[in-house]
Amino acid sequence: MSERFDGKVVIITGAGSGLGQAAALELAKEGAKLSLVDLNDASLEVTKKLILEIAPKADVLLVTADVSDEEAVKNYVGKTVSKYGRIDAFYNNAGIEGKQAPMAEYDSKVFNKVTDININGVFYGMKYILPIMKEQGSGAVVNVASVGGIRAVLNQSAYVASKHAVAGLTKTAAIEYGQYGISINAIAPGVILTAMVEGSFRQIGGENWEEAMADFISVNPMKRFGKPEEVGRLVAFLLSGESEFINGAVIPIDGGQSSQY
């Protein structure tokens, strides 16, 4: 049986951990040729190892890059095209959370770092990949926003500003590039249990971080965290070509959290 991603080339940023790693495993199972990008080269090796355990014949390129460095973005795009000759799909996922603090106490350096990675990283990725997809006449992009790209989140001004920007970039790119057969969407995950989220609860709860996690879940309509592989399956659908007419959407995957007040 042919898989949805047989022969397709997919770039994933932030592929060394969490949501990026989960999507890499999902797409490798479905036959994708992967170009995996992360700041942390050791974590990329871990992802590769996990992929080869479930898909021993998978084609995997690893590129170490900081997505907020425009030259490094050009380099990961160039290396991918040199190896595979095309780019069918792009999971523009790398991002950081920053600190938890009310706005007046929010460290400006941290604010700039969060917006640099979360906004510029997403922008540069699309800037260098969309022309290649336009030339091909096809492609799919999934940018990673957050429920914090739809609603406010207490004490997270930089993160919320950056994720609203991701939603805006997504909608703009979608109306500019839809005519070339490219679909561009964002996902808005709620709290999915990854290293980033555990770090966040450690900041909020200190020694009692596990209690803080339990409190948080208690107000989610589904009373649980999301799982990285659930997000991976949504991303696979959006990148597969099965959902081509979904364009410019910001899709929550949050157990209903963003619908309640």
CA 7 vs. chain centroid, Å, equals: 22
Q: Are strands 89-92 and 250-253 parallel, antiparallel or unpaired?
A: unpaired
Q: Let me know: does 180 contact 160? Beta carbons within 8 Å.
A: no
Residue count, binding to ligand NAD (CB under 6 A): 30
Distances (CA, A) of 218 to 97, 196, 205, 255: 22, 20, 15, 12
Q: Judged by CB, which is closer to ligand NAD: 85, or 204?
A: 204
Binding mask 139-158 for ligand NAD (x = CB under 6 A): -----x-x------------
CA–CA separation, 187 and 241 (whole Å): 16
125 near ligand NAD (CB under 6 A): no
CA 208 vs. chain centroid, Å, equals: 29
253 near ligand NAD (CB under 6 A): no
Whether 124 sits among the annotated catalytic residues: the reply is: no
Q: Rounded to the nearest whole angstrom, what is the least distance from the CB of residue 87 to ligand NAD in the complex?
A: 17
**Active-site hit among 159, 177, 180, 261:** 159
186 near ligand NAD (CB under 6 A): no
In the structure encoding, which two tokens stand for residue 3, read together? 């898989």
CA–CA separation, 225 and 227 (whole Å): 7
**Chain positions contacting ligand NAD, by CB under 6 A:** 13-14, 16-20, 38-40, 43, 65-68, 93-96, 117, 121, 144, 146, 189, 191-192, 194-197
**What residues are labeled active site?**
159
